[in-house]
Each structure stands twice: as C-alpha cells, then as structure tokens.
Amino acid sequence: MSSLMAPDARTVVDKDIEPGRDYHYILAVIKADGSEVMSQPRTVRVGTWALELGPNYPNPFNPTTTISFTLPREDHVTLAVYTVSGQLVRTLIDGKRPAGAATASWDGRGAGGQALSSGVYFYRLQAGQRVLTNRMVLLH
C-alpha cells in the first residue's frame, strides 16, 4: 500500500496563534549526519474570527445538547439558558475565554440539578457588549 505522504514529510501545528495576524516560518531539519536542511520561508495569514453562536445539536434534544460558539478575541463570556418567559434557568459559562471556537453542553437541568420539563428554551451568549440568542427544544 502506498503512503499519502513522502517518508520525510513533516507536519507542524502552531497552537499559539491569534486571529488577524501574519506568521512567518522557516523550518529546519537536522539530519543524522549533523547537516541541516532549511525550508523556504513561508508566511501564513490567520483570518479573523467573528462572534458567532451556532445552533445547538441535536435539536430537539433529550437529555443533552451541545452549544457551539466562536469568539473573535479573548473576552469575558456568559452563556445562559432561559425559559420562553425570560426566567434564568442555568448559567453554563461565566468567565474569561480565549479567542476561537468553543462548545458547552447542557443536560436539560436547572441550576439546582432538577430535570426540566419539555419545551422551548433560549440560550444567550454575551461577550463584551454583544449578545446573541438562539432557541432549542427539550423533549422527554
């Protein structure tokens, strides 16, 4: 069976990036004989992220759902669940979060751990001055 990559191919993952910046890389490999091989310089532009609140999945759900969101920069984030009448059910996140994509799970329970009834609920993401809201359906 043939390999998809050449035997000497390498992959590098830089986990310390920030959106909206350019990064310049030169990779070096030291061979067994002590010689060094350098790559051509590469510039990578990292796009900026926008504040986004994705649809929860699954929806409808029972008993657990996942909520995805993206932050354009590190910020204090509050992600909370509300009834259709606007009553706070549970706060899922309340604290500083890094820029990028993230998820949170909700198990259909209130702040006191009680199972909630079937129905429509809203989840609200606040990051800085921006607020986004989506709806979800809990079915038992």
What are the extents of the domains in the chain? 10-48, 52-138
- The overall average pLDDT reported for the chain is 89
Match domain 52-138 to its CATH number in 2.60.40.4070, 2.40.110.10, 3.40.50.300, 1.10.3720.10. Answer: 2.60.40.4070
Percent of the chain with pLDDT over 90: 62
pLDDT in tens, 73-125: 899 999 999 999 999 999 999 999 998 889 999 999 999 999 999 999 999 99
Q: Residues near 60 by Cβ (< 8 Å), separated by ≥ 6?
A: 136, 137, 138, 139
How distant, in Å, are the alpha carbons of 20, 34, 72, 92, 122 from that of 88? 35, 64, 26, 11, 10
The pLDDT of residue 82 = 98
Q: Band of the pLDDT at 10, cuts 50, 70, 90? A: low
With beta carbons less than 8 A apart as the criterion, state whether 90 and 80 touch: yes
